[in-house]
A and B are shown apart, each in its own frame.
Chain A
Amino acid sequence: MWRAFLSLLKKDFKLMLSGKFLLLAFGSLVLYSCYINLIYVGLDQDIYPVYLYDPFHTQEMVSSEIIAVDSTEELQSNIEGGYAVGINAFSGTPEIVMVSSNMRSVDQYRAAYAFSLLSPASSVAAERIGADNKEMKSRREITCEFLFFELAAVGFLGLASTLFKEKQMGIIRVHGVLPVSKTAFILSKLILFLLSDLLFSALLTVINLGVAEGLSVLPHVCLQAGILSLLMALVGFFCAIWLPDFKQFSLLYLVLAVFITTPVFLAGQTGIIREGIKYHPMYHLFMAMKNAYRGVSSANGGYYMVCGLTFILLFLLVRQVLVREMAKEG
């Protein structure tokens, strides 16, 4: 039993190498790390600059972060970019002047922030939890997003591409007459890609968060990475066997990639959370991953139960399509 399983693992590892999957994963690791360290952490944009036109000095308690201007024309030109906020206090009553972002909540936030700078003493300082600085926060967020993308999209494609090779060679059918179980055939691939994904996750985390921070969140990250890796590998397995050719697979991959990455960019990058997003299964996986990068395990028992059931369901589906593939004609 174990001898046969080791043979399957060895063969799958050779296929993985010949498919240049590890090279691709290594390339992604280098690319993501370079982007995070050389570009992303340097992209820190200041919060909305606030310009004040107050020729009669009607506002007494003004924050040092406010930039004073001498004319309405100057005020107008500074806010034209659509990011900065202007306050016109010519009449004695401060009025907000800004180019709308076309998003009501964002505009309200910008206006509230600008007003808060007019009376800084009255503002209440928020309680600070943890010791994250701004750079570390950025590193956690972007590393989490890259890892999620890598595991969801590239991991899915990796297993499917090796399986497509075997399918094209017709070799899957031979395994139907060998004294080896179909479960072992599936598990060997899953375990290999799981190990590869866990190694990738650990390296990406440690390289971009630093050794101390990286190691502190690694158990949580590995748990979530493992769940995502297994689920996506099974989806990839199913699609590769079920679909007759690579063209159809590529099309489905495109649809899935959009479907999977949508919540990442909505919830992760823009902070826009739509009402229906909680019904998106990948959103929960992404949020669990995000929390893992903060070193907390927010996912509850229900989450793990659903993941477990999904795994079992996908595994049974994969087994079913594998049996069908083995019985196919040449």
Chain B
Amino acid sequence: MITVENLIFSYQKQKQALHGLTFSVADGEIFGFLGPNGSGKSTTQKILTGILHGYGGNVRLFGEPLKEQEKRFQERIGVLFEFPYLYTNLSALDNLHYFASFYPAKRRRDPIELLTVLEFKKDFMKKPVSSYSKGMRQRVSMARALLNNPELLFLDEPTSGLDPQGAVLFRRIIGEERKKGTTIFLTTHNMMDADLLCDRVAFIADGEIKAIDTPKKLKEENSNHQVEVHYLYQGKRNMTVIEMPELKSGIPFPYDEIISIHTKEPTLEDMFIQYTGRGLK
């Protein structure tokens, strides 16, 4: 679906934002693009969505070079921005009807149906967006991104501004889109989203990809194979870290009661820091 080879981009002559990115996203895959602010992830997304031009290297979308594609390729993509950009003087339905009008009729989805799936309050559908909460605006934005039944969906911080219920709903909808065969390019700071949703993730820092793999493999490869044991012994609570192979012959220390055993598996954020030397925020 997406093939990027040696992608470079400079905003000014001295300021190079991307230093030869190479990666690919398969059809129907959810690909996480993780990086701190200013790492080049937004620039990459802008190039892939046709907003930024003047880049170097090869970018192929839908099997064709991006540079050779006309504006029409945007009929096949959906983009959710980090902030819910909407006409605040118009209602949710007016916004969606307006944006839908730019797509061919055969691609369009019914705005009311979409809003219903997104659990949008019915009595607000015809009220101006200016009266909506951030969560409601984010739902309308998501509906806008899905309006044209996109084959490739770009999501930038999709769960930002949502309450936990909303975040769960969005993750479910993203999962359903993937089941339909939609390829998803997810840009996020939210490690939980990346871990739960992504088939593969790429860590980007300073315009370079530092690591790329499935979240599971990344964690496994960097695991120190240790477990943390909390236990009671002679009336006192203790904690000991032991190597996993030691467990083969049972708990290798005296105890009265085991309270819990946890693997000391690294999180995605730990991985990111390990690969880039920087935190995500």
Contacts and interface: CB of A to CB of B under 8 A. Distances in A.
Nearest to A6: B101
A169 B141 CA distance: 13
Contact of B98 (A7, A173, A327): A7
A7 B102 contact: yes
16 contacts: A7-B102, A10-B98, A11-B87, A15-B87, A166-B87, A169-B86, A173-B51, A176-B49, A177-B74, A178-B74, A178-B102, A179-B71, A179-B74, A327-B52, A330-B81, A330-B82
Nearest to B130: A169
A3 interface: yes
Interface residues of A, number: 26
Contacts of B74: 177-179
A177 B52 CA distance: 10
Interface in B94-109: 98-99, 101-103
Nearest to B42: A329
Given A171-B87, A176-B51, A177-B77, A4 B102 contact: yes
B89 A18 contact: yes
A14 interface: yes
Nearest to A4: B102
A179 B75 contact: yes
B90 interface: yes
Secondary structure dominating the interface of B: loop
Interface residues of B, number: 27
A326 interface: yes
A4 B85 contact: no
Given A15-B87, A179-B72, A327-B46, 9 more contacts: A3-B101, A14-B89, A174-B144, A177-B49, A177-B77, A178-B99, A329-B42, A330-B81, A330-B83
A7 to B, nearest CB: 4
A171 B82 CA distance: 12
B274 interface: no
A240 to B, nearest CB: 17
A99 interface: no
A71 B139 CA distance: 90
B126 to A, nearest CB: 14
Interface in B33-84: 42, 46, 49-52, 71-72, 74-75, 77, 79, 81-83
Nearest to B141: A174
Contacts of B87: 11, 15, 166, 169, 171
Contacts of A295: none
Given A15-B89, A329-B42, A179 B82 contact: no
A20 to B, nearest CB: 12
Given A4-B101, A178-B74, A178-B102, A327 B51 contact: yes
Contacts of A179: 71-72, 74-75, 102-103
B88 interface: yes
A180 B74 CA distance: 9
Contacts of B144: 174
A174 B81 contact: yes
Nearest to A178: B102
A3 to B, nearest CB: 6
**Most chain A Cβ neighbours within 10 Å, of B72, B74, B102, B103:** B102
The 8 A-B pairs with the shortest beta carbon distances in the complex, nearest first, are: A7-B101, A170-B85, A179-B74, A177-B79, A176-B51, A330-B83, A18-B89, A179-B75
Contacts of A15: 87, 89
Interface string A219-245: 000000000000000000000000000
Contacts of B71: 179-181
B50 A177 contact: yes
Interface in A306-330: 326-327, 329-330
Nearest to B154: A177
B81 A14 contact: no
Contacts of B88: 169
Contact of B102 (A10, A176, A180): A180
B255 to A, nearest CB: 54
Task: Name the residue among A6, A173, A181 with the largest chain B CB count within 10 angstroms.
Answer: A173
Contacts of A176: 49-51
A177 B156 CA distance: 14
Interface in A159-188: 165-166, 169-171, 173-174, 176-181
Contacts of B52: 327
Contacts of B102: 4, 7, 178-180
A22 to B, nearest CB: 15
Contact of B51 (A4, A171, A326): A326
Nearest to B43: A327
B95 to A, nearest CB: 9
B79 to A, nearest CB: 4
Given A178-B74, A330-B82, A330-B83, A11 B98 contact: yes
A177 B102 CA distance: 11
A136 B150 CA distance: 63
Nearest to B46: A327
B46 A171 contact: no
Interface string B6-35: 000000000000000000000000000000
